[in-house]
Amino acid sequence: MKILIGLFGCFLALLSCSRSTGTEDWQKLGENAVGIHLYDKSSIKPVKPGVVKVWSKIIYSQRTAEKAIKAIPDAAGLYQSVVLDIIDCKNNEYLISRTIFYDKHGKVLRDTGEDKKGLGYRPISDNTMIGRLAQVVCMVGKDR
């Protein structure tokens, strides 16, 4: 019985040590009224020359979450979203390919699925979070 308890204790210790966030490497871009903006540095991948894809995250401010709950179906409890952005560095535009909305406990509230067309490419404006993201990932994309 002591051996069984010892093995169970070792299992719990290993389990607690192996807890991780996966391979994500979330870096903060900044904060604004919408919330805290981050990107996953490890997810930056070239799609073709001059075009990269990257996962970004928004942890919503309480005010933004409350507004979204009124506007988005199934958004009750909205806490954050993770977005797959495709950034065309040559043409200075971006595409939101996929958005996954989560509650505070990590439960998926809504997933748009991967859509290569999404809402279409949009211009990247300076002094915006997507502008900051483009500056970072386009520099990293040149290194790959």
Q: Given this model, what pLDDT does residue 7 score?
A: 33
Q: For residue 112, give the 3-state DSSP assignment.
A: coil
Report the pLDDT value the prediction gives residue 76, as an integer from 0 to 100: 87
Q: How far apart are CA 30 and CA 8, in angstroms?
A: 43
97 and 118 in contact (C-beta within 8 Å)? yes
pTM (2 d.p.): 0.77
Question: pLDDT tens digits, residue range 15-59?
Answer: 333 223 456 899 999 999 999 999 999 999 999 999 999 999 999
Domains of the chain listed by start with CATH number:
22-143 (2.40.128.710)
Percent pLDDT > 90 in the chain is 63
Query: Quick one: pLDDT band at residue 110, thresholds 50, 70, 90?
Result: confident
